[in-house]
């Protein structure tokens, strides 16, 4: 019977435990989207994770719309991320870069007034985070079919840059209502061409990007994140089971390192009581390691691993506030609470100052 503390092989990477660090946007980059020195310290503190998945990292200026988030399209960004990966590896860790195109949730103010792009000309609900505070989202411009190869190339180039920066692999962010998810799910994808309508067409961008990135990093160093459980940033689909089954089958055929799935508990703080669990469906369709995420505690994670429902678990807020989370789990120690006020602030407070067990004891 497997446990959270067992090692696991995920593609080309040998992880010493199944307690992975989920991608967490922390807004500690510069206004030019460069990684900063404190980010190297932050990630190195968490190198005890079986695998770190980096914060969502922009593949292009077009695709990045979060203030003080980081990108990986320029040489300067590669140099900044190299300092991060060097620090993680020196501390004995492993780290994947999560590749991000936000699609319609990029606010024009972060692109010199240019409209965001998406699968279709739609508008995200709610308010965008901008340098001037929260503002309503703008209507997106539908990508022309002739532009899609350029977007695929942006992903491919970002993956190549991630390798140059020393990452052990990459993860495609195909979840949470961002660009690939905007193509996958029918509420945002109103296209009538080869990228819209049928499930085969709506999964086409995911397949093309995955194949392009795998061609650079190797399928065994590629992961994908999906979020099939209900609405996310206004993106939803009335038939999630056949859609995400098809997506999982395509990724399984490609032989990716692992598939990460948001699977909130039905009655959790972010649960989806109107949507059945999707992990059992994906488990049957995907032959590789399956990693689950969202509102897991030690007890639930241990039960899921023991039952064989997943191969590893990604923890988000728990890792945010507990740099030594695997050690705390192993010892049954109390967890530090996280401070929401400093989630997206700049500077070391609420970023580097969460105590480890050793410093707490001292």
Sign of CA dihedral 110, 113, 114, 119: positive
- Number of C-beta neighbours around residue 147 at 10 A: 13
What counts of helices (H) and strands (E) characterise the chain? 12, 14
DSSP 17: S
SS3 content of the chain, % helix, strand, coil (to 5): 35, 15, 50
178 labelled catalytic: yes
Cβ contacts of residue 108 below 8 Å, gap of 6+? 114, 115, 116, 138
Helices 204-217, 148-164: crossing angle, 10 deg rounding: 30
CA distances from 338 to 34, 234, 292, 329 (A): 25, 27, 21, 16
- Catalytic pick among 178, 195, 351, 354: 178
Active site residues: 178
């Amino acid at each position: 019977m497997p446990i959270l503390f067992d090692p696991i092989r995920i593609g080309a990477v040998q992880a010493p435990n199944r307690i992975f660090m989920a991608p967490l946007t922390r807004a500690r980059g510069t206004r030019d989207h460069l990684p900063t020195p404190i980010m190297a310290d932050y990630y190195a503190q968490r190198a005890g994770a079986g695998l770190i998945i980096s914060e969502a990292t922009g593949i292009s200026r077009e695709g990045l719309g979060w203030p003080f988030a980081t990108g990986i399209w320029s040489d300067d960004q590669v140099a900044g991320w190299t300092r991060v990966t060097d620090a993680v590896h020196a501390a004995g860790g492993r780290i994947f870069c999560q590749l991000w195109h936000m699609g319609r949730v990029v606010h024009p103010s972060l692109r010199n007034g240019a409209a965001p792009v998406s699968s279709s000309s739609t508008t995200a609900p709610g308010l965008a985070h901008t340098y001037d505070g929260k503002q309503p989202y703008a209507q997106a411009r539908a990508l022309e079919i002739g532009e899609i190869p350029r977007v695929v190339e942006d992903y491919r180039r970002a993956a190549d840059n991630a390798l140059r920066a020393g990452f052990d692999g990459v993860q495609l962010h195909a979840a949470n209502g961002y660009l690939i998810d905007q193509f996958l799910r029918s509420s945002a994808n109103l296209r009538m061409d080869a990228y819209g309508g049928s499930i085969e067409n709506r999964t086409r961008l995911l397949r093309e990007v995955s194949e392009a990135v795998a061609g650079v990093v190797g399928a065994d160093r590629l992961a994908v994140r999906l979020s099939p459980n209900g609405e996310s940033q206004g993106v939803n689909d009335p038939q999630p089971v056949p859609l995400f089954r098809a997506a999982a089958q395509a990724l399984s055929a490609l032989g990716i390192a692992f598939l990460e799935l948001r699977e909130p508990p039905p009655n959790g703080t972010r649960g989806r009581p109107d949507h059945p669990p999707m992990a059992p469906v994906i488990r049957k369709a995907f032959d590789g390691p399956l990693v689950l995420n969202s509102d897991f505690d030690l007890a639930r994670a241990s039960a899921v691993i023991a039952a064989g429902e997943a191969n590893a678990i990604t923890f988000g807020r728990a890792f945010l506030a507990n740099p030594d989370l695997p050690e705390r789990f192993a010892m049954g120690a109390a967890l530090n609470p996280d401070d929401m006020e400093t989630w997206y602030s700049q500077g070391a407070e609420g970023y580097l100052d969460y105590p480890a067990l050793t410093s707490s004891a001292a």
